[in-house]
Amino acid sequence: METKQIKIEVADPTPLGLFGLAIVTLVASSQKLGITTGYSLVLPWALFLGGFAQLFAAMFDFKHNNLFGATAFGGYGLFWVGMSMSWLIRLGCFGNTLAASADMGQMGFVFAGYFIFSILLTISALKMSKAMFFLVLLIVFLFLGLTLEAFGCGIVWHLVAAYSELSLSLLTFYVLAAKYLNSIFGRELLCLGKPFCSR
């Protein structure tokens, strides 16, 4: 009996994951900067674009044997799912008892954990393009600001988080455009920069 192995090729999921990250950080930064108010209409984009789109990209990056992409999209996708649930709790969607007992100090520890996680990704991004390195570095500053704000270290950290998140969104749109257009046209239309560390 003859056995055949069939390999199913899947497209690079990175542009989709980057799109999810770009949209959710753009919407969330508008709230942090006071351009918009509340969490009600941040929630769907946090859940579906920040969460599900990045998790979808992570699953296919595992198939591509892309450890960095799978880990980053998976980790940040789950962050946005968790943030969506946290906002729903604070808004009282799961009852007044949970809303009343919400302690922002706990979120501070979540942000601190993601700050450490982002530093690890930034170190590994030294082997990637310069644009990707600076993208992840902006995430480090975002979580630094969120952590210190959650622990009550002053309004300046809220602004650090807000402007880092807006800058992150804009840079992510650029990296998304480069990844997508360079792939479609089969040549470098937009430069991402050579890695800081090639070995």
Q: Where are the domains of the chain?
A: 14-185
> For residue 157, what pLDDT is reported?
96
> For residue 39, what pLDDT is reported?
87
Its pTM stands at 0.92
What element of type H or E holds 17?
helix 14-32
In the chain, the percentage of residues whose pLDDT exceeds 70 is 95
| Residue 188 burial class via C-beta count within 10 angstroms: exposed 0-12, middle 13-18, buried 19 and up | exposed
Tell me how far apart the alpha carbons of residues 69 and 71 are, in angstroms, rounded to a whole number.
6
Q: What is the pLDDT of residues 129-174, one digit of tens each?
A: 999 999 999 999 999 999 999 999 999 999 999 999 999 999 999 9
Name the band, by pLDDT with cuts 50, 70 and 90, for residue 19: very high
| Residue 192 CB contacts under 8 Å (≥ 6 apart), including other chains | 129, 130, 131, 132, 175, 178, 179
Name the band, by pLDDT with cuts 50, 70 and 90, for residue 96: confident
Per-residue DSSP letter, 125:
G
47: pLDDT strictly greater than 90? yes
